[in-house]
Amino acid sequence: MARFAAFVSLLAAGIVFQLSHGVEVNVTDKEGKLCLYANLMVNFSVSYPAGEKIDTVEFELPSEVTTNGSECGATSSTLKLNFGDGRSWSVNFTMDGNVYQADYITFSYNLSDTTVFPSSGSNETASVTVKSQITNVGVDTCYSCNSKDMILTDMVNMTLSSVLIQAFVSEGNKSENITSCSADQPVTSPPPTTQGTNATTPAPVTNATSTAPPPTTTPTPTLPPPNTGKYSVNSDNTTVCLLADFGLRISIKQGETYQEMNLEPNKTTASGSCGVNSSELQLVSSTMTIMLTFINDTAKFRLHAVNFTAKTGSGVDFNAVNTNLTLWEAAIGSSYMCNKEQNYTITNLLSFYTFNLRVQPFGIAKGVFNTADECFMDSDLSFLVPIAVGVALSFLIILVLISYLIGRRKSRTGYQSV
């Protein structure tokens, strides 16, 4: 009984403990009822100035945190986890109708804490705010994502994993229902179909000598090629830091049906941010929002993450996220270009078709694209593939013919010598 009382006292003081699968947090309202629940793991990588160089430290959300600053409301809630000396990690949630989402994640850290940031010459408390990828979570459900979710910024990288959150708990009882992130959803193939007339029940197939062709995984395009849009992001009012030109067709799958839509440049607004290690391009139209995240690994850049939301033809919200991509890769100081139509599978439910693509998220000079690294289909070598195949086949035919003639000659010589 004494142990139980001590545990209740610790919860009342806002202290929670890390279980083997993460930090579990119970936030209560003024009546003492559970109003926000979270169980998650967060790893941090922070770069900071240390004299004449930049050092990087890594640490995780520790075993003890406090929830001072966390709040619960009818349509908005905040989860704030405080730890160490001047460090905190918080998420803001908002509800809209029958769904809720996490709007922003904010991480603050105290650079004067030399136990964490050795050789730091700064006394400031720095912070970074990023857009969250937790969206379209059903009311009275817990958001679950066991997969790693990497959030990259200039100086701070955060990796979330084993996440279970219910931002709006009803009547103090955590829901057993789950809304899973797209990264956790299994990739499944559509079930085989049978053909027939007036069939009411499936019948076993016997003595079958042929099989039906596999189902098509992507639809045949039915829309005209999209118009090429020219998008840019400025680091200030005048300096261009990101350029992207492309036409984009999107294919989404809901159930067994596909829907296609073209991004219309004249109805799209571009915004974003540029940094040393990552840059973002956000495209917003009346029907969709696309967030493209690029990372810089010092030698090359690549498209690392896509966050896509849209209103479908049926009026249902669609969301797909992939934070582990390696696309549109080129050397830093160059642009990536691929004029030919390309098809990219973003998730099992989302595909992108690009036309006249050219992009440069880092190292832009004078507001124009640098020299392009071309995709293979655009390069001068692409025409060599069918030529090489033709030459190889011709060479093979010649070898077979020579072998046949030599064999025939030997056979005839042996016959005459008898």
Pick from 350, 315, 260, 309: nearest CA to 137: 309
What confidence tier does 313 reach under pLDDT thresholds 50, 70, 90?
low
Q: Residue 267 has what pLDDT?
A: 92
Spell out the domain ranges in the chain: 2-181, 229-374
Q: Is 353 exposed, middle or buried (CB count within 10 Å of its CB: 0-12, 13-18, 19+)?
A: buried
Contact assessment for residue 132 and residue 101, using Cβ atoms and an 8 Å cutoff: yes
Distance CA 344, CA 253 (A): 14
Distance CA 166, CA 177 (A): 10
Could you report the per-residue pLDDT of 146-156, keeping only the tens digit for each? 888 878 777 88
Could you report the per-residue pLDDT of 192-220, keeping only the tens digit for each? 544 444 444 444 443 333 334 444 444 55
Mean pLDDT computed over 131-146: 90
What confidence tier does 314 reach under pLDDT thresholds 50, 70, 90?
low
Let me know if domain 2-181 sits in CATH 3.40.50.720.
no
Mean pLDDT computed over 361-383: 81
Output the CATH code of domain 229-374.
Answer: 2.40.160.110
What confidence tier does 378 reach under pLDDT thresholds 50, 70, 90?
low
Same fold across 2-181 and 229-374: yes
Q: Residue 297 has what pLDDT?
A: 84
Could you report the per-residue pLDDT of 330-359, keeping only the tens digit for each? 999 999 999 999 999 999 899 999 999 999
Q: Is the pTM of this model over 0.85?
A: no
Distance CA 101, CA 95 (A): 7
H or E stretch covering 397 = helix 384-416
